Structure 1
Amino acid sequence: PTTALDVTIQAQVLALLKDLQRRLNMAILLISHDLGVVRHMADEVHVMREGRIVEHGPRKEIFAAPSHPYTRALLASAPAGRPDPLEETAGNLVEARGVRVWFPQGRSFFGRPKSFIKAVTDADLTIRRGESLGVVGESGSGKTTLGLALLRLLPSRGEVVFDGQDLSAMRERQVRDLRRNFQIVFQDPYGSLSPRMTVGQIVAEGLDAHRLASGSDRERRIAEILEAVDLDPSAMHRYPHEFSGGQRQRISIARALILRPEFVVLDEPTSALDRTVQFQIVELLRDLRARFGLTYMFITHDLALVRALCHRVVIMKDGIIVEQGETGAIFERPGQEYTRALLAAALE
């Protein structure tokens, strides 16, 4: 019930469920891949694999001493470790200064907006070359809008500088030539892939749009990037519905990386996936960053993912960046009450 929710809303929904359970004396069957939620809510736990219950018992026993290898693998699959250190000489790849995205609401008789939805207001940030930056906040805080504005996929005000070039001062045709250098991976691996296109056609969209390869060279590059995301090259001849959620997300990542971009925005890349597949995607992204020298911007409400993968973190609330800094420092000594509330609401 809380898969797509940020940590503060998740905490509120779970508290509501517990209150209703107590007042109505009702039982709850909680179906979830979020082990933090299960640990917080359940009395008894049943672990399923391939249609069979492989282990069950009291929650404390399952979490403290799992007996089945699959249960142990589930419990061990939380994002772990810390990001590899950056080179001290790494310069800024992306810079945002005063970025603003306001959507007009209604028009007066003279055609002027009556009001605005202030999705992002005066955002300033930098992302160093090779860095992974996490952007977290509640739903509606402006995280995705900020990411789209940095990629010039939404009209915005302020300056966006990519590798020393001011995108905000460029015409769309000039930006188009640079787009191969920055890409996005969307949240939904089901909705972001056309069911009418083969995997090869989907992955090669960027190549075709920029006219970078054709014939045997095109097929070779598709095969290489599919192998890079741990998919068999023969997948290029199949359709998205033939793959699992984790495999579809690998296809989405391959589509973004086939152009060999420098900067990739990942919008909730693991939120729709179960725990073990999340772990696999996290490890894949870590490997791809090292292999291709990528710079990441992670838009997420998964604080464990941020701690494991991100060098720095930006906290957003109501379209405003309220705090940013080194991930370890923010997690250990948050300076804003809102950040403290986010961290307190996260279920380990």
Structure 2
Amino acid sequence: MEHRHLGRSGLLVSEITYGNWLTHGELVARAAALSCVRAALDAGITTFDTADVYARGAAEELLGQALRGVRRESVEIATKVCLRTGDGPNDQGLSRKHILESCNASLRRLGTDYVDLYQAHRFDDQTPLDETLIAFDDLVRQGKVLYLGVSEWTAAQIREALDLADQLGLRNRIVSNQPQYNMLWRVIEPEIVPLCDGEGIGQIAFQPLSQGVLTGKYQPGQAPPVGSRAASGGRAPMFIRRVLGDELLRRVQELRPVAAEAGLSMAQLAVAWTLRRPGVSTALIGASRPEQVTENAAAAGVRLDDEAMRRIDDTLGDLVETDATKTARMMAVKPDWARSESTAGQPG
């Protein structure tokens, strides 16, 4: 496992981050979840990502249990705040009250005194941005948070936060952005990546496998295979079926020779592609079985050549989404924030 700096910060993160959205506490039994974390540690993964809203807090609890006994300084733990976590009027958003209360609750569930990275899960246009930034800065000063990040913010929102932090004289600025990013979904490339590169903000790319679509296990004209996430219970099928389509699945199958020539599985090809992209500090993977973790982690250190990258672009062609406005349209917060984990169907 190789490590990279998170943006221009001094924090090193493993090239592969293990995340537990839609798995721990929801689709994956406790024993399997613990096995997946052990597999991640065995593969050299040191960076773990979760959120207060995942499985209503159960994901954080399970991650904390899985890392119990592991030397705290040897891992990097990231979590998030913003989406609704309860029925109270302030159990949502990026107000000072919700940020401070949610951070304390996350620390209790994770069983740690601090998190390495605390991320604004979405932008909150119902709260003054200075209130949000000062609350985050206070958490760093208190030693409960080491670094700050955001997830699925637009370039304009990130720019506004950076400028305001400078105006307020805050020393603790945003060092990371966690966007959905993969071969098919590249909406961060036109605006967000150039801005972040210039400001030293690293990308924590989630869904590098596009909900498993880029593994090639979904075949055109066929029902999802038994045991796959698209065939499971819960909310997972709702998210996955948004990106399924026969033409897309046919093109994905055409990537098999590219993977084979590189000596990679389809999943490894997708992760390696993500790690090759400019500005990416780490690729965030999830898993329901430990062998999936082991397979995906093997993409660390792989360097796809220019010819492989070109063939991927040529194969996927017009199915690649690069419309920068889709981040804003898909991730916009509703006036009463949806009570599920996502206001857009693609949380990370």
Provide TM-score, normalisation by structure 1.
0.29
Q: Whose strand proportion is higher, 1 or 2?
A: 1
